[in-house]
Amino acid sequence: MFLLKLIIRNAFRHKLRSILTVVGIAIAIIAFGLLSTLVGLWYHGVEASSASRLVTRNAISLVFPLPLSYKDRIRQVPGVKTVSYGNWFGGIYIDEKHFFANEAMEPKSFLELYPEFILTPEQKDAFLRDRKGCIVGKRLADTYGWKIGDLITLRGTIFPGQWEFVLRGIYRGAEKGTEERALFFHWDYLNETLKKTMPRRADQVGFYMIDVERPELAAEVSQAVDAIFKNSLAETLTETEKAFQLGFVAMTEAILVAIQIVSYVVIVIIMVVAANTMAMTARERIAEYATMKTLGFGGWHIAGIVFGESIVIALSGGLLGVALTFPAAQWIQVELAQFFPVFTIAPLTIALDILAALAVGVVAGIFPTWRGATIGIAEGLRRIG
């Protein structure tokens, strides 16, 4: 207890220096925690995907369409429960800064496939009945203040023109992580318009979504679907929804790696700063360590005092950082809602924060601990005065 008291008092002996170090570590931990959360969010869509859903797309690339006629042939594959289809629409609301996902889907089968999008029965009926109708997630509706019956206009990019939709439903996610910042409308509306304006692009879909009877049939069904269209003009690639989402993540992997590297660099920088502080501290206290050794305290006692001080400072910064990470994440979730549908700090991130703070304490304490533990008494006492 006595040595613990000595460690804590020593840790905050030079208040300004200790506070600056603690704040520095706290900021590094906040940055590390937020960046780790950001990396985790990248995989958010992947984690939210169902194990029993498959996605079939053109084997060459997602940008190439598939014939609508594939639908019935896919449905005949044993193990297939539901088939839906759609196109990435890529429309722009107001301008490019107001990005959100918007897709043309076959509405009935789509809502069957995605039970996590919860609509009231009235809104669901209204949406299914109105070919120009659309549904949006609650968070997206809140962002723009949309209400049922509002007219939403998107500027088409892949499919040029001004596209108008009537808001017929606002869905809620069944789970916290369910995407609530997307707009879905009738695929028929897109297709019929294309028949008039660009007939060559009509009756083609961007992807099929398949619900299999049991998750364990996923591999078998995938192979069967792709086998049907082998050597056709539009060969298919069928994969689980998770693998499909991972494909998107892989496209931005370089950014992910960069973010991860930055998060580790932040910790390394604060390690160096903390190590410098601890080295200065130990250098100033060499005479005190020598005095303690004179009184009979061993090298291990001194090591414990120096190392303990380093850990106390690092953990103080770490705990402060963890405490401040939550309001910071809350701020991001509110202020940057359009970019981050959820910004929740996971327990694993907190554990990593504490681990990073401990690592800072350990690394910063190694050299001063060794120096304090091995200093010769006569040499240490000469440092006085």
CB of 299 to another protein, least distance (A): 8
Contact with another protein (CB under 8 A): which of 82, 291, 333, 344? 291
Q: Which stretch binds another protein (CB under 8 A): 3-11, 23-31, 56-64, 167-175?
A: 3-11
Amino acid sitting at position 151: L
* Residue with Cβ nearer another protein (7 or 315): 7
CB of 366 to another protein, least distance (A): 22
Per rule CB under 8 A, count of chain residues that contact another protein: 23
Contact with another protein (CB under 8 A): which of 258, 269, 346, 384? 384
CB of 313 to another protein, least distance (A): 15
* Residue with Cβ nearer another protein (156 or 299): 299
Interatomic CA distance for residues 276 and 284, integer angstroms:
12
* Residue with Cβ nearer another protein (254 or 295): 295
Give CB contacts under 8 A, 24+ apart, made by 143-146: 143/181, 143/337, 143/338, 144/93, 146/170
* Residue with Cβ nearer another protein (130 or 288): 288
Amino acid sitting at position 144: Y
Kindly identify the residues of this chain, within the stretch 319-378, that bind another protein according to CB under 8 A. Answer: 376-378
DSSP run (H or E) holding 155: strand 151-156
Per DSSP bridges, beta strands 182-186 and 101-105 are parallel
Show the tokens assigned to 326: 């939550």
Contact with another protein (CB under 8 A): which of 292, 342, 363, 373? 292
Q: Which stretch binds another protein (CB under 8 A): 2-10, 124-132, 180-188, 264-272?
A: 2-10
Site string for another protein, 10-29 (x = CB under 8 A): x--x----------------
Contact with another protein (CB under 8 A): which of 115, 149, 199, 296? 296
381 contributes a contact to another protein by CB under 8 A? yes
Phi-psi region of 79 (alpha: psi -120 to 50; beta: other; left: phi over 0): left
Interatomic CA distance for residues 6 and 11, integer angstroms:
8
Contact with another protein (CB under 8 A): which of 4, 9, 73, 335? 9
3-state secondary structure of 120: coil
- Count CB-CB contacts under 10 A for residue 5: 9
User: Is 181 within 8 Å of 137 (Cβ atoms)?
Assistant: yes
CB of 285 to another protein, least distance (A): 9
* Residue with Cβ nearer another protein (5 or 196): 5
* Residue with Cβ nearer another protein (104 or 290): 290
* Residue with Cβ nearer another protein (194 or 373): 373
Contact with another protein (CB under 8 A): which of 250, 298, 331, 346? 298
Kindly identify the residues of this chain, within the stretch 259-288, that bind another protein according to CB under 8 A. Answer: 287-288
* Residue with Cβ nearer another protein (334 or 378): 378
User: Is 206 within 8 Å of 190 (Cβ atoms)?
Assistant: no
Residues forming beta bridges with residue 207, ordered by sequence position: 86
* Residue with Cβ nearer another protein (326 or 370): 370
Sign of CA dihedral 167, 130, 84, 215: positive
Contact with another protein (CB under 8 A): which of 210, 293, 308, 321? 293
Instruction: Give me the count of residues in the chain.
Output: 385
* Residue with Cβ nearer another protein (227 or 384): 384
Q: Where are the beta strands (DSSP E) in 179-263?
A: 182-186, 204-205, 207-212, 236-240
- Count CB-CB contacts under 10 A for residue 72: 9
Amino acid sitting at position 3: L
Contact with another protein (CB under 8 A): which of 2, 115, 121, 149? 2
CB of 302 to another protein, least distance (A): 11
**SS3 for 285-350, per residue?**
CHHHHHHHHHCCCCHHHHHHHHHHHHHHHHHHHHHHHHHHHHHHHHHHHHHCCCCCCCCCCCHHHH
Contact with another protein (CB under 8 A): which of 223, 232, 294, 330? 294
Residues that bind another protein (CB under 8 A): 2-3, 5-6, 9-10, 13, 287-288, 291-298, 376-378, 381, 384-385
